[in-house]
């Protein structure tokens, strides 16, 4: 019995060991399978740079299509600084896919640095990349050629000027439209008033008829009735006889009429003046003393006023020939004024129609497009115009440009201090213009291997001496559509236009360098980036670049 128990315990112990081993093996197998399906690596395009140059740091993640990969946005690369975080590229390799994430890094102090490991999450599990050592070197300055100057004091910079052009672009049309609307409204108001203004006699008769149709007498409103009645006759006399009639009291008006009669200006009958004086006095009693009139007196006075108006109308002398002539001149001036107003109205209408059409066109196609059509856009004209494809220099560079490049004088530069048998330069525009294109080809006397990195440094130095200040340099490989490889430098700089003046607005540049058949070929494009047409021009020129000599060599 003892032996049986010992064997039984021994067997159970063996089973326990086998079970633990199976669990450990399963865990290790699953862990290995997970690591096998997800691989994380990192690399840089260069371990040695100059101060301020860009290091392209790349993280590659290879995993299954069902894995969730996250590149945190708060990655830290201290002591290096991150310039830019590029978009993630994805490539498929069978059932797996590869994610490529690139970061632009730089450092502005020389020394040896270590890029720390970066954390990547795959299915919520962290992975760390390897650390990478890089070296940042100083830019060597030859003090025998480059003079040293002391640090300049700080300069007070003025605030940028107000963009009046953009303000006027919107304010002027609005003011014109508002002004046109006010003018048309006032013109219509004056026209309506002129149409309503009848001749004095007709105006008085119409006013009397309107008074007859009123209900003032039936409503026992004698005061209002007599006020209107005297107002009618005074207004008539003001327009036909005496310009001060409306501002005069009743007694003053009677006195002035007597003076006109005595002076012979108007052939008034004394009885007519007496009747008018009597009506004025009754009207004053009604208006101010609230005296009640006898029944029918108001109708009699109304009839008397109409007779006075008729008699006065007949007594008004006919205008003299001189008055008629002045009136004719007045009518001629009035006609010219009306004609001038018609012209102004017509031109204003056309201008308003143009403004309205422009607003509609801008709303449909975009106001930037409208601005380009009205004020012009040199870069847009170049981008949309007819392009020319031509061959420049030897070894030849073939490319397509908006305008033909013109041969320029060859300056003495650092890049041409070797044994050079010949050099050709072709340009379009100026360095500070909206678009500048330069093609340079250089031929060497002896066959030699050209280091593009060294040549690019020399060309960048020459560019800086030519007026490119505060230059930001990024480097990258470049390949034409036909597979010819070269080197590219790109970034921004300020253009120096005189000894003490540098443009505040930065220019964007791209420099392409090729070494073909014992020669050096350079394409430089400098432009003021408008965010659209300049980039279209750059891409089109890039796509058209061909190196003829390289093609001949391949064909041999």
CA distance 280 to 291: 13
48 alpha carbon, distance to own chain's centre: 43
User: pLDDT tens digits, residue range 4-57?
Assistant: 334 444 444 443 444 444 444 444 434 444 444 568 999 999 999 998 899 999
What b/e sequence results for 312-339 when a residue is b if at least 16 CB atoms lie within 10 Å of its CB, and e otherwise? beebeeeeeeeeeeeeeeeeeeeeeeee
Q: What residue has token string 């070894």?
A: 395
Q: What residue has token string 């500070």?
A: 432
Distance in angstroms between the alpha carbons of the first and the last residue of the chain:
96
Q: Is-contact 435 534, C-beta < 8 A? A: yes
Residue 329, classed as helix, strand or coil, is helix
pTM: 0.42
517 alpha carbon, distance to own chain's centre: 48
The confidence band for 105, taking pLDDT boundaries of 50, 70 and 90, is: very high
What is the rounded radius of gyration, in angstroms, for the C-alpha atoms of the chain? Answer: 49
Tell me how far CA of residue 353 lies from CA of 67, 69, 361, in angstroms.
61, 58, 12
Q: DSSP character for 297?
A: H
**Max mean pLDDT range (328-332, 452-456, 545-549):** 452-456
pLDDT, average across residues 536-551: 80
Strands 111-115 and 435-444: unpaired
Residue 27, classed as helix, strand or coil, is helix
User: pLDDT tens digits, residue range 447-487?
Assistant: 767 788 888 888 888 888 888 888 888 989 988 888 888 89
Q: What angle do CA 293, 294, 296 make, to 5 degrees?
A: 105
Quote the tokens at residue 542.
């890039």
User: pLDDT tens digits, residue range 118-167?
Assistant: 989 988 899 999 999 999 998 776 666 656 666 777 777 666 666 666 66
Q: Is 288 exposed, middle or buried (0-12, 13-18, 19+ CB in 10 A)?
A: exposed
User: pLDDT tens digits, residue range 57-94?
Assistant: 999 998 887 888 888 777 788 889 998 889 888 888 77
pLDDT, average across residues 276-283: 87
Q: What is the 3-state secondary structure (H, E, C) of 250-274?
A: HHHHHHHHHHHHHHCCCCCCHHHHH
């Amino acid at each position: 019995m003892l032996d049986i128990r010992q064997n039984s315990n021994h067997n159970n112990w063996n089973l326990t060991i086998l079970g633990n081993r199976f669990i450990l093996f399963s865990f290790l197998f699953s862990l290995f399978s997970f690591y096998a399906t997800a691989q994380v690596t990192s690399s840089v395009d260069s371990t040695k740079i100059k101060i301020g140059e860009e290091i392209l740091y790349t993280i590659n993640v290879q995993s299954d299509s069902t894995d969730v990969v996250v590149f945190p946005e708060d990655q830290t690369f201290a002591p290096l600084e991150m310039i830019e975080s590029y978009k993630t590229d994805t490539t498929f390799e069978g059932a797996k896919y590869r994610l490529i994430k690139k970061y632009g890094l730089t450092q502005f102090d020389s020394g040896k640095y270590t890029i720390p490991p970066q954390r990547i999450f795959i299915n919520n599990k962290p992975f760390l990349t390897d650390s990478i050592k890089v070296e940042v070197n100083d830019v060597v300055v030859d003090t025998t050629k480059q003079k040293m100057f002391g640090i300049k004091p700080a300069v007070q910079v003025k605030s940028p000027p107000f963009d009046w052009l953009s303000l006027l672009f919107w304010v002027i049309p609005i003011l014109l439209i508002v002004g046109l609307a006010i003018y048309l409204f006032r013109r219509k108001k004056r026209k309506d008033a002129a149409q309503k203004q009848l001749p004095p006699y007709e105006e008085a008769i119409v006013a009397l008829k309107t008074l007859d149709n009123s209900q003032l007498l039936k409503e026992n409103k004698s005061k209002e009735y007599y006020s209107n009645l005297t107002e009618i006759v005074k207004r008539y006399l003001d327009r036909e006889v005496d310009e001060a009639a409306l501002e005069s009291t009743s007694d003053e008006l009677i006195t002035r009429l007597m003076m006109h009669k005595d002076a012979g200006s108007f052939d008034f009958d004394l009885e007519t003046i007496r009747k008018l004086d009597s009506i004025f006095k009754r009207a004053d009693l009604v208006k101010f003393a609230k005296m009640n009139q006898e029944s029918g007196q108001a109708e009699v006075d109304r009839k008397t006023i109409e007779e006075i108006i008729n008699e006065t109308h007949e007594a008004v002398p006919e205008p003299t020939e001189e008055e008629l002539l002045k009136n004719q001149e007045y009518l001629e001036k009035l006609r010219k004024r009306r004609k001038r107003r018609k012209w102004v109205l017509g031109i204003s209408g056309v201008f308003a129609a143009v403004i309205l059409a422009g607003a509609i066109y801008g709303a449909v196609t975009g106001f930037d497009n409208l601005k380009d059509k009205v004020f012009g856009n040199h870069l847009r004209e170049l981008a949309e115009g007819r392009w020319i494809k031509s061959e420049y220099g030897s070894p030849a560079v073939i490319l397509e440009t908006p305008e033909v490049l013109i041969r320029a004088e060859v300056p003495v530069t650092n890049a041409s201090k070797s044994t050079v048998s010949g050099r050709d330069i072709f340009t379009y525009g100026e360095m500070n213009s909206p678009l500048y294109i330069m093609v340079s080809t250089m031929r060497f006397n002896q066959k030699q291997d050209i280091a593009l990195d060294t040549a690019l440094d020399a060309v960048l130095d020459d560019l800086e001496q030519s007026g490119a200040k505060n230059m930001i340099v990024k480097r990258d490989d470049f390949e034409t559509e036909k597979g010819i490889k070269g080197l590219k430098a790109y970034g921004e700089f300020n253009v120096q236009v005189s000894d003490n003046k540098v443009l505040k607005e930065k220019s964007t540049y791209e420099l392409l360098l090729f070494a073909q058949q014992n020669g050096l070929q350079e394409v430089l494009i400098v432009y003021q980036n408008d965010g659209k047409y300049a980039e279209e021009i750059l891409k089109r020129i890039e796509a058209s670049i061909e190196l003829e000599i390289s093609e001949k060599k391949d064909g041999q």
